Structure 1
Amino acid sequence: MEFDLNTLLIIILFGLIASFIDSVVGGGGLISFPALLAVGMDPAVALGTNKLASSFGTLTSTLKFVKAKKVDFDIVGKLFPLSFIGSILGAITATYLPPEYFKPLAIIILTLVTFYSILKKDWGDINQYKKLSLKKAILFIVGVVVIGYYDGFIGGGTGSFFLFVLLLIGLDFLHAAGNAKFLNLASNLGALILFMVLGQVNYIYGLSMAGAMVVGSYLGVTFAIRKGVSYVKVLFIVVTISLILKNVYDYVTSHIL
């Protein structure tokens, strides 16, 4: 793909918008990945390039959350390598098995997550985390590995899934968002490494979008910290609904139309 200034400007603009949203609740791939496809990038290269850019954005938002003391390393510190490994395994699986077959499952899970978040009115308003029992700890660990695998295999909504499982163990929305970014950073890096090994990354456009995502992520987290839990909760619901609609559209157009 030849370098083009107009293409570069489009990538930077959409990278900025995507990272602003993704920095808090995930879902930025809804914007950044289609933007890369729209400028004519090969789907496989677009995936790898998007991972390169989003890794920089996620790192920025993670550091911002850490500085604001919204990341609980005693909860998620030891889970970073598990999310990382899960993502690599998922990306390897994607090279053999088309992820499209599992889109309906993602739609169902996202729908359940959204309804649960809407119906449980006071959920995530305050931090109610308590030390987990052995059973809950095992389920939480398995959930992190599975979501990391999902990110490498399918992607799209990974940050929202991480945020959801962290809400389930009692964190408020803002702390859940910070810890979700930490785990999402691991899954982004895992998938990115595989894409780099396979040569499926456009570094010129990827690093340009990465620069925009660093700015967008910084602004997004700053805004979320200032606005508080209620803002993050509303954004989470909006993004999960958008993810559902996007996945339904993709499934219908590829299997029915």
Structure 2
Amino acid sequence: MTSYADQAILFVASFAANWFSALSGGGAGLIQFPMLIFLGLPFGVALATHKVASVALGLGATVRYLRENHLERRFSLIILGAGLPGVVLGAGTILQLAPRTALFLLGVLTLGLGLYSVFKPRLGMEHAPKNREGSGLLTGMLGLFVVGFLNGSITSGTGLFLTIWLIHHFGLDYKRAVAYTLVLCGLVWNGTGALVLGYLGSIAWGWMPALLAGSILGGYFGSHIAIRKGNLWIKRAFEVITILIGVKLVLG
């Protein structure tokens, strides 16, 4: 059980992490997950605990995005159907692996995402749906499965992969891509990962009050700003968060 001081630290860290995550389409693990380890949780317990708290991010974002009606039912089912098996497989695998090499490779990839967006000025600025049928859809679903596996296995910043995949392959703009990421990845993918990790490992329930409060409020207010500011603001936030996460994971 944490002290009141620890709960205050957890709330501030969780709010900040989830505010940035809701704004940029991922990256809550940059602050929240390392903070849990710093405060004394073992890797596996911190991972499962962070996953549960991340569901609250999805809940807070969902409350805000439902008012905007950005989500298409068929496309949402495609994301869930292709990604959830990867989430389950990844969550069942990660507790058996040494995390350092995987985190380093994830850092290189995440850093690459940010640089890719920086050097593609028009990326995600316009909503031009594509690859919704045939071979393009199958390739897209394979990518969603891979992203789902990363989401289930490694917690830091993997929502960013879903955001950029939805933009690059499916032609969404940043605002819509972030909406899908926060609602479907944040609520459903993370919820599934939390169930699997909680079943295979353990969750620090005594840490939850501050984490859940910070996640819900951070998710809601971050989503509100993202909706108000629009694509260019979200794109810049995405680039900053991905580059920071990438550098952090590479350096350890």
Shorter-chain TM-score range: over 0.9
2:57 corresponds to 1:39: no
TM-align CA RMSD = 1.7
Q: Give the direction of change, closer, same or farther, for the CA distance of 1:80–1:105 in structure 2 (3 Å limit).
A: same
Q: Give the direction of change, closer, same or farther, for the CA distance of 1:37–1:191 in structure 2 (3 Å limit).
A: same
Q: Give the direction of change, closer, same or farther, for the CA distance of 1:66–1:139 in structure 2 (3 Å limit).
A: farther
Aligned residue in 2 for 1:9: 8
Q: Which runs of 5+ in 1 are unaligned?
A: 251-257
Aligned residue in 2 for 1:68: 68
1:211 to partner: Cα distance: 1.5
Equivalent runs, 1:1-257 vs 2, <5 Å: 2-24=1-23, 25-130=25-130, 132-168=132-168, 169-184=170-185, 185-250=187-252
Q: Give the conservation status (yes or no) of the 8 Å contact 1:20–1:216.
A: yes
1:200 to partner: Cα distance: 1.5
Secondary structure at the counterpart of residue 171 of structure 2: coil
Provide the aligned length of Structure 1 versus Structure 2.
249
Q: Give the conservation status (yes or no) of the 8 Å contact 1:58–1:217.
A: yes
1:48 to partner: Cα distance: 1.2
Q: Give the conservation status (yes or no) of the 8 Å contact 1:86–1:187.
A: no
Q: Give the direction of change, closer, same or farther, for the CA distance of 1:11–1:21 in structure 2 (3 Å limit).
A: same
Q: Deviations over 1:87-134 (max 9, x none)?
A: 121011112222323334323322332222111111111111145341
Q: Deviations over 1:136-193 (max 9, x none)?
A: 1011111111111111112212111000011012111101110122331332112100
**Separation (CA, whole Å) in 2 of partners of 1:155 and 1:33:** 8
Q: Give the conservation status (yes or no) of the 8 Å contact 1:22–1:28.
A: yes
Q: Give the conservation status (yes or no) of the 8 Å contact 2:65–2:223.
A: yes
**Separation (CA, whole Å) in 2 of partners of 1:119 and 1:100:** 29
Q: Give the conservation status (yes or no) of the 8 Å contact 2:61–2:219.
A: yes
User: TM-score by structure 1 length?
Assistant: 0.90
Q: Give the conservation status (yes or no) of the 8 Å contact 1:85–1:148.
A: yes
Partner AA of 2:97 in structure 1: L
**Separation (CA, whole Å) in 1 of partners of 2:188 and 2:153:** 14
User: TM-score by structure 2 length?
Assistant: 0.92
**Separation (CA, whole Å) in 1 of partners of 2:206 and 2:52:** 11
Aligned residue in 2 for 1:253: none
Q: Give the conservation status (yes or no) of the 8 Å contact 2:36–2:46.
A: yes
Secondary structure at the counterpart of residue 67 of structure 1: coil
**Separation (CA, whole Å) in 1 of partners of 2:40 and 2:17:** 19
**Separation (CA, whole Å) in 2 of partners of 1:110 and 1:152:** 16
**Separation (CA, whole Å) in 2 of partners of 1:243 and 1:213:** 19
